[in-house]
A and B are shown apart, each in its own frame.
Chain A
Amino acid sequence: MLEVKNLTYSYEDGTKALENININLKKGKKIGIIGANGSGKSTLFLNMVGILKPRRGNILFNGESIKYNKKYLREYRKKVNIVFQDPDKQIFYSNVYDDIAFALRNIGYDEEEIKSRIDKVLKRVGAYDFKDKPVHFLSYGQKKRVAIAGILVMDGDIILFDEPTSGLDPLMTREIVSIIEDISKDKNIIISSHDMNLIYEICDYIYVLEKGKIIKEGSVKDVFTEEEILERAGLEEPWLVKIHKRLGLPLFKDEEEFFSYWREKYGSGIDWS
Protein backbone atom coordinates (compact mmCIF):
# COMPACT_ATOMS: atom_id res chain seq x y z
CA MET A 1 0.00 0.00 0.00
CA LEU A 2 1.13 3.52 -0.81
CA GLU A 3 1.69 6.29 1.66
CA VAL A 4 3.10 9.77 1.28
CA LYS A 5 4.78 11.00 4.42
CA ASN A 6 5.76 14.60 5.21
CA LEU A 7 6.66 15.16 1.59
CA THR A 8 8.16 18.50 0.64
CA TYR A 9 9.21 19.23 -2.90
CA SER A 10 10.93 22.33 -4.17
CA TYR A 11 12.21 23.37 -7.58
CA GLU A 12 15.87 23.86 -8.35
CA ASP A 13 15.77 27.54 -7.54
CA GLY A 14 14.23 26.83 -4.14
CA THR A 15 10.57 27.76 -4.60
CA LYS A 16 8.41 25.28 -2.76
CA ALA A 17 5.92 23.39 -4.88
CA LEU A 18 4.66 20.99 -2.22
CA GLU A 19 4.90 21.34 1.51
CA ASN A 20 4.52 18.66 4.13
CA ILE A 21 2.08 16.45 2.24
CA ASN A 22 0.62 13.39 3.93
CA ILE A 23 -1.51 10.98 1.96
CA ASN A 24 -2.50 7.47 2.89
CA LEU A 25 -4.12 5.16 0.39
CA LYS A 26 -5.61 3.11 3.18
CA LYS A 27 -8.16 5.87 3.67
CA GLY A 28 -10.12 4.90 0.59
CA LYS A 29 -10.28 2.79 -2.51
CA LYS A 30 -10.83 5.73 -4.80
CA ILE A 31 -8.91 8.74 -3.60
CA GLY A 32 -9.53 12.19 -5.05
CA ILE A 33 -6.99 14.98 -5.05
CA ILE A 34 -8.62 18.29 -5.83
CA GLY A 35 -7.18 21.72 -6.28
CA ALA A 36 -7.07 24.65 -8.66
CA ASN A 37 -4.68 24.91 -11.61
CA GLY A 38 -1.14 25.20 -10.31
CA SER A 39 -1.97 23.92 -6.84
CA GLY A 40 0.58 21.12 -7.20
CA LYS A 41 -1.54 18.13 -8.21
CA SER A 42 0.63 17.05 -11.12
CA THR A 43 3.87 17.65 -9.22
CA LEU A 44 2.52 15.50 -6.42
CA PHE A 45 1.72 12.71 -8.87
CA LEU A 46 5.18 12.88 -10.41
CA ASN A 47 6.61 12.53 -6.92
CA MET A 48 4.37 9.56 -6.19
CA VAL A 49 5.58 7.61 -9.21
CA GLY A 50 9.23 8.39 -8.54
CA ILE A 51 9.91 10.70 -11.48
CA LEU A 52 10.55 13.61 -9.16
CA LYS A 53 12.43 13.09 -5.94
CA PRO A 54 11.15 14.89 -2.85
CA ARG A 55 13.45 17.27 -0.97
CA ARG A 56 12.15 15.97 2.32
CA GLY A 57 9.84 13.17 3.38
CA ASN A 58 9.15 9.77 1.87
CA ILE A 59 6.95 7.75 -0.35
CA LEU A 60 6.26 4.50 1.47
CA PHE A 61 5.30 1.46 -0.56
CA ASN A 62 4.16 -1.51 1.54
CA GLY A 63 5.70 0.17 4.55
CA GLU A 64 9.13 0.72 3.01
CA SER A 65 10.43 3.95 1.65
CA ILE A 66 10.89 3.74 -2.13
CA LYS A 67 14.41 3.81 -3.53
CA TYR A 68 15.49 5.85 -6.50
CA ASN A 69 17.60 3.34 -8.36
CA LYS A 70 16.60 2.01 -11.75
CA LYS A 71 15.99 -1.53 -10.63
CA TYR A 72 13.75 -0.58 -7.75
CA LEU A 73 11.79 1.96 -9.75
CA ARG A 74 11.16 -0.58 -12.50
CA GLU A 75 9.57 -3.03 -10.07
CA TYR A 76 7.75 -0.20 -8.33
CA ARG A 77 6.24 1.10 -11.56
CA LYS A 78 4.94 -2.32 -12.45
CA LYS A 79 2.75 -1.88 -9.39
CA VAL A 80 2.15 1.87 -9.32
CA ASN A 81 1.61 3.72 -12.56
CA ILE A 82 0.05 6.83 -13.98
CA VAL A 83 -2.21 7.88 -16.84
CA PHE A 84 -1.16 11.37 -17.86
CA GLN A 85 -3.54 14.09 -18.87
CA ASP A 86 -2.86 14.46 -22.59
CA PRO A 87 -3.19 11.18 -24.53
CA ASP A 88 -1.27 12.62 -27.48
CA LYS A 89 1.84 12.80 -25.36
CA GLN A 90 1.72 9.18 -24.26
CA ILE A 91 0.88 7.44 -27.50
CA PHE A 92 4.08 6.95 -29.45
CA TYR A 93 3.07 4.64 -32.25
CA SER A 94 0.61 5.17 -35.04
CA ASN A 95 -0.74 1.70 -34.38
CA VAL A 96 -2.91 1.02 -31.34
CA TYR A 97 -1.62 -2.50 -30.77
CA ASP A 98 2.08 -1.58 -30.84
CA ASP A 99 1.48 1.29 -28.53
CA ILE A 100 -0.27 -0.74 -25.88
CA ALA A 101 2.44 -3.38 -26.21
CA PHE A 102 5.18 -0.78 -25.58
CA ALA A 103 5.56 -1.35 -21.83
CA LEU A 104 5.31 -5.13 -22.03
CA ARG A 105 7.85 -5.37 -24.84
CA ASN A 106 10.20 -3.14 -22.89
CA ILE A 107 10.21 -5.52 -19.97
CA GLY A 108 10.53 -8.48 -22.29
CA TYR A 109 7.23 -10.37 -22.24
CA ASP A 110 6.77 -12.91 -25.02
CA GLU A 111 4.46 -11.99 -27.85
CA GLU A 112 1.84 -14.58 -27.03
CA GLU A 113 1.39 -13.27 -23.51
CA ILE A 114 1.37 -9.72 -24.86
CA LYS A 115 -1.39 -10.55 -27.33
CA SER A 116 -3.65 -12.14 -24.77
CA ARG A 117 -3.15 -9.29 -22.34
CA ILE A 118 -3.80 -6.64 -24.98
CA ASP A 119 -6.99 -8.30 -26.19
CA LYS A 120 -8.26 -8.41 -22.65
CA VAL A 121 -7.38 -4.83 -21.94
CA LEU A 122 -8.79 -3.53 -25.24
CA LYS A 123 -12.14 -5.08 -24.40
CA ARG A 124 -12.03 -3.69 -20.91
CA VAL A 125 -11.61 -0.09 -22.06
CA GLY A 126 -13.93 -0.53 -25.03
CA ALA A 127 -11.22 0.02 -27.63
CA TYR A 128 -11.43 -3.34 -29.34
CA ASP A 129 -13.44 -2.03 -32.26
CA PHE A 130 -10.86 0.49 -33.35
CA LYS A 131 -7.75 -1.48 -32.52
CA ASP A 132 -6.68 -1.64 -36.16
CA LYS A 133 -7.23 2.02 -36.92
CA PRO A 134 -4.22 4.31 -37.11
CA VAL A 135 -3.97 6.49 -34.02
CA HIS A 136 -4.25 9.80 -35.87
CA PHE A 137 -7.73 8.75 -37.08
CA LEU A 138 -8.96 8.33 -33.52
CA SER A 139 -10.97 10.92 -31.65
CA TYR A 140 -9.58 12.49 -28.47
CA GLY A 141 -11.77 10.24 -26.32
CA GLN A 142 -10.66 7.14 -28.18
CA LYS A 143 -7.03 8.13 -27.72
CA LYS A 144 -7.72 8.53 -24.03
CA ARG A 145 -8.86 4.92 -23.91
CA VAL A 146 -5.73 3.78 -25.69
CA ALA A 147 -3.63 5.73 -23.18
CA ILE A 148 -5.46 4.08 -20.29
CA ALA A 149 -5.05 0.67 -21.92
CA GLY A 150 -1.30 1.24 -22.26
CA ILE A 151 -1.03 1.51 -18.49
CA LEU A 152 -3.73 -0.98 -17.57
CA VAL A 153 -1.97 -3.68 -19.57
CA MET A 154 0.76 -3.84 -16.92
CA ASP A 155 -1.86 -4.98 -14.43
CA GLY A 156 -0.46 -3.07 -11.46
CA ASP A 157 -2.12 -2.45 -8.11
CA ILE A 158 -2.40 1.30 -8.07
CA ILE A 159 -3.17 3.66 -10.95
CA LEU A 160 -3.01 7.44 -10.78
CA PHE A 161 -5.20 9.44 -13.15
CA ASP A 162 -4.10 13.00 -13.80
CA GLU A 163 -7.16 15.01 -14.88
CA PRO A 164 -8.77 12.02 -16.61
CA THR A 165 -11.72 13.85 -18.12
CA SER A 166 -10.31 17.23 -19.08
CA GLY A 167 -11.07 18.08 -22.66
CA LEU A 168 -13.60 15.30 -23.11
CA ASP A 169 -17.19 15.78 -24.27
CA PRO A 170 -20.02 14.80 -21.89
CA LEU A 171 -20.56 11.39 -23.46
CA MET A 172 -16.87 10.52 -23.45
CA THR A 173 -16.60 11.78 -19.90
CA ARG A 174 -19.34 9.33 -18.88
CA GLU A 175 -17.57 6.50 -20.64
CA ILE A 176 -14.15 7.26 -19.17
CA VAL A 177 -15.81 7.51 -15.75
CA SER A 178 -17.33 4.07 -16.15
CA ILE A 179 -13.95 2.68 -17.25
CA ILE A 180 -12.36 4.17 -14.14
CA GLU A 181 -15.17 2.78 -11.96
CA ASP A 182 -14.57 -0.62 -13.51
CA ILE A 183 -10.81 -0.44 -12.94
CA SER A 184 -11.37 0.56 -9.32
CA LYS A 185 -13.04 -2.80 -8.66
CA ASP A 186 -9.69 -4.56 -8.56
CA LYS A 187 -7.18 -1.71 -8.20
CA ASN A 188 -6.64 1.28 -6.00
CA ILE A 189 -7.00 4.51 -7.88
CA ILE A 190 -6.12 8.12 -7.27
CA ILE A 191 -7.69 10.84 -9.38
CA SER A 192 -6.66 14.45 -9.61
CA SER A 193 -9.17 16.87 -10.97
CA HIS A 194 -10.91 20.17 -10.60
CA ASP A 195 -14.15 18.77 -11.91
CA MET A 196 -16.01 18.65 -8.64
CA ASN A 197 -19.02 16.70 -9.89
CA LEU A 198 -16.76 13.96 -11.20
CA ILE A 199 -14.76 13.62 -7.99
CA TYR A 200 -17.91 13.77 -5.91
CA GLU A 201 -19.44 10.84 -7.76
CA ILE A 202 -16.38 8.62 -8.15
CA CYS A 203 -14.23 9.07 -5.07
CA ASP A 204 -14.64 8.00 -1.48
CA TYR A 205 -11.87 9.98 0.20
CA ILE A 206 -10.65 13.46 -0.69
CA TYR A 207 -7.57 15.60 -0.22
CA VAL A 208 -7.82 19.31 -0.97
CA LEU A 209 -4.64 20.91 -2.25
CA GLU A 210 -4.04 24.63 -2.18
CA LYS A 211 -0.72 26.26 -3.14
CA GLY A 212 1.15 23.04 -2.44
CA LYS A 213 -0.42 22.31 0.92
CA ILE A 214 -3.21 19.98 1.96
CA ILE A 215 -5.79 22.21 3.58
CA LYS A 216 -8.40 19.56 4.19
CA GLU A 217 -8.90 15.83 3.98
CA GLY A 218 -11.84 13.62 4.71
CA SER A 219 -14.70 11.62 3.34
CA VAL A 220 -16.58 13.02 0.37
CA LYS A 221 -19.39 14.32 2.55
CA ASP A 222 -17.02 15.97 5.03
CA VAL A 223 -15.02 17.79 2.41
CA PHE A 224 -17.67 18.84 -0.05
CA THR A 225 -19.94 20.42 2.51
CA GLU A 226 -17.19 22.81 3.63
CA GLU A 227 -17.91 25.71 1.37
CA GLU A 228 -15.15 28.00 2.69
CA ILE A 229 -12.46 25.38 2.16
CA LEU A 230 -13.55 24.80 -1.42
CA GLU A 231 -13.74 28.51 -2.06
CA ARG A 232 -10.28 29.03 -0.64
CA ALA A 233 -8.92 26.28 -2.89
CA GLY A 234 -10.48 27.92 -5.95
CA LEU A 235 -13.11 25.21 -6.32
CA GLU A 236 -16.87 24.98 -5.98
CA GLU A 237 -19.44 22.65 -4.53
CA PRO A 238 -20.79 19.83 -6.70
CA TRP A 239 -24.33 20.53 -7.85
CA LEU A 240 -25.75 17.74 -5.70
CA VAL A 241 -24.27 19.41 -2.63
CA LYS A 242 -25.66 22.76 -3.75
CA ILE A 243 -29.23 21.47 -3.99
CA HIS A 244 -28.74 19.73 -0.66
CA LYS A 245 -27.68 22.91 1.09
CA ARG A 246 -29.81 25.48 -0.68
CA LEU A 247 -33.01 23.53 -1.26
CA GLY A 248 -32.90 21.45 1.88
CA LEU A 249 -32.97 18.16 0.00
CA PRO A 250 -31.12 15.12 1.31
CA LEU A 251 -27.49 14.71 0.17
CA PHE A 252 -27.42 12.32 -2.79
CA LYS A 253 -24.36 10.45 -3.98
CA ASP A 254 -25.25 10.61 -7.66
CA GLU A 255 -27.82 11.83 -10.14
CA GLU A 256 -29.72 8.57 -10.22
CA GLU A 257 -30.26 8.56 -6.49
CA PHE A 258 -31.64 12.07 -6.71
CA PHE A 259 -33.98 11.22 -9.59
CA SER A 260 -35.42 8.17 -7.93
CA TYR A 261 -35.99 10.16 -4.73
CA TRP A 262 -37.81 12.78 -6.73
CA ARG A 263 -39.87 10.23 -8.61
CA GLU A 264 -40.93 8.55 -5.40
CA LYS A 265 -41.95 11.81 -3.85
CA TYR A 266 -43.50 13.70 -6.72
CA GLY A 267 -44.30 11.05 -9.32
CA SER A 268 -42.45 10.44 -12.53
CA GLY A 269 -43.58 13.32 -14.68
CA ILE A 270 -44.42 16.94 -14.30
CA ASP A 271 -47.49 18.09 -16.10
CA TRP A 272 -46.22 21.18 -17.87
CA SER A 273 -49.49 22.01 -19.57
Chain B
Amino acid sequence: MLLIDRYAYTNKLKDFNPMAKFIFAIGALFVAIGFNNLYINFVIFLTMVLLTTIVAGIPSKNYFKIYLVPFLFLFFSILTIIISKSSEDIFLWSFKMGKSYFGIKEESLTSSIILILRVLACLSSTFFIALTTPINHLIKIFKKLKLPPTIIELIILIYRFIFVFLEESKEISFAQEMRFGYIGIKNTYRSIGLLMKCLFVRVLLKYNDMINSLDAKLYNGDFKIG
Protein backbone atom coordinates (compact mmCIF):
# COMPACT_ATOMS: atom_id res chain seq x y z
CA MET B 1 0.00 0.00 0.00
CA LEU B 2 1.18 3.51 -0.73
CA LEU B 3 2.21 5.51 2.29
CA ILE B 4 0.55 8.70 1.00
CA ASP B 5 -2.70 6.83 0.56
CA ARG B 6 -2.52 5.25 3.99
CA TYR B 7 -2.04 8.68 5.57
CA ALA B 8 -4.95 10.07 3.60
CA TYR B 9 -7.18 7.48 5.27
CA THR B 10 -5.74 7.68 8.77
CA ASN B 11 -4.79 11.31 9.47
CA LYS B 12 -6.54 13.45 12.05
CA LEU B 13 -8.11 15.76 9.47
CA LYS B 14 -9.63 13.01 7.34
CA ASP B 15 -13.17 13.74 8.50
CA PHE B 16 -12.83 17.50 8.30
CA ASN B 17 -15.10 18.99 5.63
CA PRO B 18 -13.39 17.95 2.39
CA MET B 19 -14.73 20.88 0.40
CA ALA B 20 -13.23 23.33 2.90
CA LYS B 21 -9.87 21.58 2.75
CA PHE B 22 -9.97 21.51 -1.02
CA ILE B 23 -10.87 25.19 -1.40
CA PHE B 24 -8.25 26.13 1.17
CA ALA B 25 -5.46 24.21 -0.56
CA ILE B 26 -6.42 25.17 -4.10
CA GLY B 27 -6.87 28.78 -2.97
CA ALA B 28 -3.38 28.78 -1.50
CA LEU B 29 -2.08 27.28 -4.72
CA PHE B 30 -3.61 30.11 -6.78
CA VAL B 31 -2.33 32.75 -4.38
CA ALA B 32 1.16 31.25 -4.55
CA ILE B 33 1.18 31.27 -8.35
CA GLY B 34 -0.80 34.51 -8.82
CA PHE B 35 0.94 36.87 -6.40
CA ASN B 36 4.32 35.21 -6.50
CA ASN B 37 5.36 37.15 -3.42
CA LEU B 38 8.31 35.86 -1.48
CA TYR B 39 6.80 36.49 1.96
CA ILE B 40 3.30 35.27 1.16
CA ASN B 41 4.73 32.08 -0.28
CA PHE B 42 6.85 31.55 2.77
CA VAL B 43 3.82 31.96 5.01
CA ILE B 44 1.82 29.51 2.85
CA PHE B 45 4.60 26.95 3.05
CA LEU B 46 4.92 27.31 6.81
CA THR B 47 1.15 27.09 7.36
CA MET B 48 0.82 23.99 5.21
CA VAL B 49 3.73 22.24 6.88
CA LEU B 50 2.35 22.96 10.33
CA LEU B 51 -1.16 21.94 9.34
CA THR B 52 -0.01 18.66 7.81
CA THR B 53 2.48 17.62 10.44
CA ILE B 54 1.07 19.01 13.67
CA VAL B 55 -2.67 19.35 13.09
CA ALA B 56 -3.15 16.33 10.82
CA GLY B 57 -0.51 14.40 12.75
CA ILE B 58 1.60 13.07 9.91
CA PRO B 59 5.11 12.15 11.15
CA SER B 60 7.43 14.92 9.98
CA LYS B 61 10.18 12.47 9.05
CA ASN B 62 7.99 10.73 6.51
CA TYR B 63 6.43 14.03 5.46
CA PHE B 64 9.73 15.52 4.40
CA LYS B 65 10.73 12.29 2.73
CA ILE B 66 7.92 12.84 0.26
CA TYR B 67 9.65 16.07 -0.80
CA LEU B 68 12.77 14.20 -1.89
CA VAL B 69 11.64 13.33 -5.39
CA PRO B 70 10.37 16.80 -6.41
CA PHE B 71 13.47 18.26 -4.76
CA LEU B 72 15.69 16.33 -7.10
CA PHE B 73 14.00 18.04 -10.05
CA LEU B 74 14.07 21.38 -8.28
CA PHE B 75 17.77 21.03 -7.60
CA PHE B 76 18.68 20.53 -11.24
CA SER B 77 16.41 23.34 -12.49
CA ILE B 78 17.84 25.74 -9.93
CA LEU B 79 21.34 24.75 -10.94
CA THR B 80 20.72 25.82 -14.50
CA ILE B 81 19.12 29.11 -13.43
CA ILE B 82 21.59 30.13 -10.80
CA ILE B 83 24.83 29.59 -12.69
CA SER B 84 25.54 31.91 -15.58
CA LYS B 85 28.48 32.61 -17.84
CA SER B 86 30.16 35.89 -18.69
CA SER B 87 33.45 37.19 -20.10
CA GLU B 88 33.84 39.59 -17.15
CA ASP B 89 33.82 38.86 -13.47
CA ILE B 90 30.45 40.38 -12.49
CA PHE B 91 29.51 37.64 -10.05
CA LEU B 92 29.03 37.30 -6.31
CA TRP B 93 31.02 34.16 -6.50
CA SER B 94 32.68 32.68 -9.54
CA PHE B 95 35.39 30.53 -11.02
CA LYS B 96 37.32 30.98 -14.23
CA MET B 97 37.44 28.45 -17.00
CA GLY B 98 39.39 29.35 -20.07
CA LYS B 99 38.51 32.92 -20.96
CA SER B 100 35.06 33.04 -19.41
CA TYR B 101 33.75 33.21 -15.88
CA PHE B 102 31.09 30.94 -14.44
CA GLY B 103 29.31 32.08 -11.33
CA ILE B 104 26.29 33.27 -9.41
CA LYS B 105 24.80 36.67 -10.12
CA GLU B 106 22.84 38.59 -7.54
CA GLU B 107 19.65 38.72 -9.59
CA SER B 108 19.78 35.03 -10.45
CA LEU B 109 20.20 34.30 -6.76
CA THR B 110 17.10 36.31 -5.84
CA SER B 111 15.05 34.81 -8.65
CA SER B 112 16.11 31.34 -7.51
CA ILE B 113 15.02 32.01 -3.97
CA ILE B 114 11.67 33.30 -5.22
CA LEU B 115 11.30 30.23 -7.39
CA ILE B 116 12.19 27.85 -4.59
CA LEU B 117 9.66 29.41 -2.27
CA ARG B 118 6.99 29.34 -4.93
CA VAL B 119 7.65 25.66 -5.53
CA LEU B 120 7.59 24.96 -1.80
CA ALA B 121 4.30 26.80 -1.36
CA CYS B 122 2.70 24.91 -4.24
CA LEU B 123 4.10 21.52 -3.21
CA SER B 124 3.06 21.91 0.39
CA SER B 125 -0.48 22.87 -0.65
CA THR B 126 -0.73 19.86 -2.94
CA PHE B 127 0.67 17.55 -0.30
CA PHE B 128 -1.76 18.96 2.21
CA ILE B 129 -4.72 17.92 0.10
CA ALA B 130 -3.11 14.61 -0.91
CA LEU B 131 -2.19 13.61 2.62
CA THR B 132 -5.34 14.67 4.42
CA THR B 133 -8.14 13.81 2.00
CA PRO B 134 -9.06 10.27 0.98
CA ILE B 135 -9.65 9.82 -2.72
CA ASN B 136 -13.35 9.08 -2.21
CA HIS B 137 -13.86 12.50 -0.67
CA LEU B 138 -11.96 14.11 -3.53
CA ILE B 139 -14.19 12.36 -6.04
CA LYS B 140 -17.28 13.76 -4.30
CA ILE B 141 -15.77 17.22 -4.58
CA PHE B 142 -15.02 16.73 -8.27
CA LYS B 143 -18.62 15.70 -8.76
CA LYS B 144 -19.88 18.79 -6.96
CA LEU B 145 -17.60 20.88 -9.12
CA LYS B 146 -19.23 19.26 -12.16
CA LEU B 147 -16.07 17.81 -13.60
CA PRO B 148 -16.82 15.75 -16.76
CA PRO B 149 -17.84 12.18 -15.77
CA THR B 150 -15.24 10.72 -18.11
CA ILE B 151 -12.46 12.38 -16.14
CA ILE B 152 -13.88 11.20 -12.82
CA GLU B 153 -14.20 7.69 -14.27
CA LEU B 154 -10.59 7.82 -15.32
CA ILE B 155 -9.49 8.99 -11.88
CA ILE B 156 -11.36 6.16 -10.19
CA LEU B 157 -10.04 3.46 -12.51
CA ILE B 158 -6.47 4.75 -12.63
CA TYR B 159 -6.41 5.02 -8.88
CA ARG B 160 -7.67 1.47 -8.50
CA PHE B 161 -5.20 0.14 -11.03
CA ILE B 162 -2.21 1.90 -9.47
CA PHE B 163 -2.59 -0.42 -6.51
CA VAL B 164 -3.17 -3.50 -8.62
CA PHE B 165 -0.06 -2.62 -10.57
CA LEU B 166 2.10 -1.85 -7.53
CA GLU B 167 1.00 -5.00 -5.74
CA GLU B 168 1.75 -7.16 -8.77
CA SER B 169 5.14 -5.60 -9.44
CA LYS B 170 6.11 -5.97 -5.79
CA GLU B 171 5.22 -9.65 -5.71
CA ILE B 172 6.93 -10.43 -9.01
CA SER B 173 10.11 -8.64 -7.98
CA PHE B 174 10.13 -10.48 -4.63
CA ALA B 175 9.94 -13.77 -6.50
CA GLN B 176 12.78 -12.66 -8.77
CA GLU B 177 14.88 -11.57 -5.85
CA MET B 178 14.45 -14.94 -4.17
CA ARG B 179 15.88 -16.55 -7.27
CA PHE B 180 18.86 -14.22 -7.47
CA GLY B 181 17.45 -12.10 -10.29
CA TYR B 182 19.17 -8.95 -9.07
CA ILE B 183 22.74 -10.15 -8.68
CA GLY B 184 24.96 -7.99 -10.86
CA ILE B 185 24.03 -5.60 -13.63
CA LYS B 186 23.39 -8.18 -16.33
CA ASN B 187 20.92 -10.16 -14.24
CA THR B 188 19.28 -6.96 -13.06
CA TYR B 189 18.66 -5.76 -16.62
CA ARG B 190 17.25 -9.12 -17.59
CA SER B 191 15.03 -9.28 -14.51
CA ILE B 192 13.67 -5.78 -15.07
CA GLY B 193 12.87 -6.72 -18.66
CA LEU B 194 11.09 -9.85 -17.51
CA LEU B 195 9.28 -7.89 -14.84
CA MET B 196 7.95 -5.46 -17.42
CA LYS B 197 6.90 -8.28 -19.70
CA CYS B 198 5.10 -10.08 -16.88
CA LEU B 199 3.39 -6.91 -15.73
CA PHE B 200 2.23 -6.13 -19.25
CA VAL B 201 0.75 -9.59 -19.69
CA ARG B 202 -0.85 -9.53 -16.27
CA VAL B 203 -2.33 -6.10 -16.71
CA LEU B 204 -3.90 -7.21 -20.00
CA LEU B 205 -5.31 -10.26 -18.23
CA LYS B 206 -6.69 -8.10 -15.43
CA TYR B 207 -8.21 -5.83 -18.03
CA ASN B 208 -9.98 -8.83 -19.57
CA ASP B 209 -11.17 -9.94 -16.16
CA MET B 210 -12.47 -6.47 -15.52
CA ILE B 211 -14.41 -6.40 -18.77
CA ASN B 212 -15.98 -9.73 -17.88
CA SER B 213 -16.96 -8.59 -14.43
CA LEU B 214 -18.29 -5.31 -15.78
CA ASP B 215 -20.42 -7.31 -18.21
CA ALA B 216 -21.62 -9.50 -15.39
CA LYS B 217 -22.61 -6.39 -13.45
CA LEU B 218 -24.65 -5.08 -16.38
CA TYR B 219 -22.25 -2.33 -17.43
CA ASN B 220 -23.65 -0.45 -20.39
CA GLY B 221 -21.03 2.10 -21.22
CA ASP B 222 -21.19 4.63 -18.48
CA PHE B 223 -19.65 4.39 -15.11
CA LYS B 224 -22.09 5.36 -12.38
CA ILE B 225 -20.70 7.20 -9.42
CA GLY B 226 -22.33 7.80 -6.05
Residues of A that sit less than 8 Å from B by CB:
11-14, 46, 49, 51, 70, 74, 77, 81-82, 84, 86, 88-90, 92-93, 102-103, 106-107, 150-151, 154
Contact = CB atoms under 8 A, between A and B. Distances in A.
A9 B172 CA distance: 22
Nearest to B167: A89
A85 B62 CA distance: 32
Interface residues of B, number: 25
Contacts of A106: 179-181, 183, 187
Contacts, number: 60
23 contacts: A13-B3, A13-B10, A51-B174, A74-B183, A77-B178, A77-B180, A81-B178, A82-B178, A88-B202, A92-B172, A92-B176, A92-B195, A92-B197, A92-B198, A93-B194, A102-B179, A103-B180, A106-B180, A106-B181, A106-B183, A106-B187, A151-B178, A151-B179
Contact of A92 (B59, B62, B194): B194
B89 interface: no
Contacts of B59: 13-14
A12 B195 CA distance: 25
Nearest to B172: A89
Given A12-B3, A89-B198, A51 B183 contact: no
A151 B62 CA distance: 37
A107 B178 contact: no
Interface string B160-180: 000000001001101111111
Contacts of A151: 178-179
Contacts of B198: 89, 92
Contact of A12 (B62, B171, B179, B181): B62
Given A74-B183, A92-B194, A84 B3 contact: no
B45 interface: no
A74 B184 CA distance: 12
B194 A84 contact: no
A74 B178 contact: no
* A-B complex: 10 closest residue pairs judged by Cβ atoms: A103-B179, A90-B175, A106-B180, A92-B194, A89-B171, A106-B187, A89-B172, A107-B180, A102-B179, A13-B6
Interface of B: 3, 6-7, 10, 59, 62, 168, 171-172, 174-181, 183, 187, 191, 194-195, 197-198, 202
Given A88-B202, A92-B194, A107-B183, A13 B178 contact: no
A84 B172 CA distance: 10
B165 to A, nearest CB: 13
B90 to A, nearest CB: 49
B192 to A, nearest CB: 11
Contacts of A11: 6
B181 A13 contact: no
A107 B178 CA distance: 12
A255 B194 CA distance: 43
A49 B175 CA distance: 11
Contacts of A84: 171, 174-175
Contact of B181 (A46, A82, A89, A102): A102
Given A84-B174, A90-B175, A74 B7 contact: no
Nearest to B179: A103
Given A84-B171, A89-B198, A13 B180 contact: no
A89 B178 contact: no
A107 B184 CA distance: 10
A81 B177 CA distance: 11
A103 B179 CA distance: 5
Contacts of B7: 13
Contacts of A86: 171
A46 B174 contact: yes
